Structure 1
Amino acid sequence: MDECPDLLNVEKGELEEKRVVDGIKTEEEEEEEEEEDEEALPHSEFLDIFEEGLALMVQDPLLCDLPIQVTLEEVNSQVALEYGQAMTVRVCKADGEVMPIVVVQSATVLDLKKAIRRYMELKQQREGGVKHISWKYVWRTFHLVFNGEKLDDDNGQLKDYGIRNRDEVTFLKTLRKK
Structure 2
Amino acid sequence: MSSISADTDSDLIQQLELEIHTLLSKDELLANVPSHATVEELEALLAVEKGQAYHISIERQPLPSIDIIVRQSSTVRDIKRMIKLHVNRQSTHKQISWRYIWRSHCLEFQGRKLLHEDAVVSQLGIKQHSVLVFARLPHEKGQHRKAWKHRP
Q: TM-score range by the shorter chain?
A: 0.7 to 0.9
The alignment covers a number of residue pairs equal to: 134
Superposed, 1:1-178 pairs within 5 Å as 42-43=8-9, 44-45=11-12, 47-67=14-34, 69-73=35-39, 74-95=41-62, 97-125=64-92, 129-130=93-94, 132-178=95-141
Using the aligned pairs only, state the percent identity: 27
Greater C-alpha radius of gyration: 1
CA distance in 2, matches of 1:92, 1:50: 31
Q: Provide Cα deviations, 1:87-139, integer angstroms capped at 9, x if missing partner.
A: 112100021521001111211111111111111111123xxx31x21111001
Q: Which has the higher strand share?
A: 2
Decide whether the 8 Å contact of 1:89 with 1:102 is kept in 2: yes
Report which structure shows greater RCO (CA 8 Å, sep ≥6): 2
- DSSP-derived class of the 2:128 partner: coil
What is the CA deviation profile of residues 38-96 of structure 1, one whole-angstrom value per residue up to 9, with x for unaligned ones?
x8xx32145314421332124322221244x4223433332332222321121000215
Q: 1 or 2, which has the higher helix percentage?
A: 1
Long gaps (5+) in structure 1: 1-38
For residue 121 of structure 2, what is the amino acid of its counterpart?
A: L
Secondary structure class of the residue paired with 1:55: helix
Structure 1's consecutive aligned runs of 4 or more residues displaced over 3 angstroms after TM superposition are 73-76
TM-score by length of 1: 0.66
- 1:59 counterpart letter in structure 2: K
Tell whether the 8 Å contact from 1:63 to 1:78 is kept in structure 2 after alignment: no
TM-score, normalised with respect to structure 2? 0.76
For 1:136 and 1:45, locate their aligned partners in 2 and report how far apart those are by CA, in whole Å: 38
44-53 or 158-167, larger mean C-alpha shift: 44-53
Cα RMSD for the two superposed structures: 2.2
Residues 53 and 164 (structure 1), Cα distance of their counterparts in 2 relative to 1, 3 Å cut: same
Q: Which amino acid aligns with 2:29?
A: L
Tell me, yes or no, if the aligned pair for 1:91 and 1:169 is still in contact at 8 Å.
Answer: yes
